[in-house]
Amino acid sequence: MTSSTPAGNKDIREVAISLDQVSKWYGSFQVLQNVNLNVRVGERIVIAGPSGSGKSTMIRCINWLEQHQSGRIVVDGIELTSNYRNVDAVRKEVGMVFQHFNLFPHLTILENCTLAPIWVKKQSKKDADAVAFEFLEKVRIADQAHKFPGQLSGGQQQRVAIARALCMRPKVLLFDEPTSALDPEMVREVLDTMVRLAEDGMTMLCVTHEMGFARQVADRVIFMDRGEILEENVPDEFFSKPRHERARAFLSQII
């Protein structure tokens, strides 16, 4: 379903991701504390919170880049367990965009986009190329398809990383501070790309400090601190009258 779904009907939308009492420890340090979160199909969620609060860990658990130790994580009806079939199935549904792009430097832009479709989805090169060009057009960088990542600006590389994720036709996209490593003049082009995805109805979970983006596209803002979700709120209220004292303190520092 798309973003045009009337707000009153949101609760009947299908659940894309659910975290139920999820906890995780690094050694004796508890990094996630009984995290509960439901993300519905087509929802755009921004995750905010101080550095070290567990934001990256939480979203990395959603595609098993990190493993939770208690609770349940279900993505598109598949529970993440140590069963590799489930992990593979979830990873096919979940695209991820990282702060540092993580493109393969020795592959062209086109090859970066077709690698997983060819090897994981067993697409023919011809089909994978066609899909890659479709998404490179979408992020407005198809004219650079035969260059290598090092020949592109940071903003262009991040748009390629978004196209690469889209080539797997994920049901959900996770973003971990996608603009934090960019020079200021490149932030806008990446945010504009993300806004267009949101307008297309993509289910998105974005860790970002870009509060303008949160106001523009988020259905909900999740505020995390010390491994806990302390507040879930609609952006207007989160920014104008945050309920939690630590959210107020956080906002006073970044806005």
Please report whether residue 56 would count as binding ligand ADP according to CB under 6 A.
yes
End-to-end CA distance of the chain: 33
Question: Which residues have C-beta within 8 Å of that of residue 162, sequence separation ≥ 6?
Answer: 97, 139, 173, 178, 190, 193, 194, 197
HEC profile of 10-41: HHHCCEEEEEEEEEEEECCEEEEEEEEEEEEC
The answer to whether the beta carbons of residues 143 and 188 sit under 8 Å apart is no
Region of 48 (left: φ > 0; alpha: ψ -120 to 50; beta: rest) is beta
CB of 55 to Mg ion, least distance (A): 5
User: What's the rounded Cα separation, in Å, for the pair 175 and 45?
Assistant: 10
Q: Which is nearer to ligand ADP, 176 or 189 (CB)?
A: 176
Please report whether residue 235 would count as binding ligand ADP according to CB under 6 A.
no
Half-sphere exposure of 141 (CA within 13 A, CB side): 31
* Residue selected from 39, 40, 53, 155 as contacting ligand ADP according to rule CB under 6 A: 53
* Residue selected from 39, 40, 54, 219 as contacting ligand ADP according to rule CB under 6 A: 54
Q: Interface with ligand ADP by CB under 6 A: which range of 53-61, 69-77, 83-91, 244-252?
A: 53-61
Q: Please give the order of strands across the beta sheet that includes 70-75.
A: 29-40, 15-26, 70-75, 78-79
Please report whether residue 156 would count as binding Mg ion according to CB under 5 A.
no
* Residue selected from 16, 22, 31, 48 as contacting ligand ADP according to rule CB under 6 A: 31
Q: Which is nearer to ligand ADP, 26 or 104 (CB)?
A: 26
* Residue selected from 44, 57, 110, 144 as contacting ligand ADP according to rule CB under 6 A: 57
CB of 125 to Mg ion, least distance (A): 35
Please report whether residue 56 would count as binding Mg ion according to CB under 5 A.
yes
CB of 207 to Mg ion, least distance (A): 6
* Residue selected from 2, 14, 36, 52 as contacting ligand ADP according to rule CB under 6 A: 52
Please report whether residue 51 would count as binding ligand ADP according to CB under 6 A.
yes
User: What's the rounded Cα separation, in Å, for the pair 102 and 122?
Assistant: 22
The answer to whether the beta carbons of residues 57 and 13 sit under 8 Å apart is no
Contacts to Mg ion by CB under 5 A: 56
Contacts to ligand ADP by CB under 6 A: 26, 31, 49, 51-57
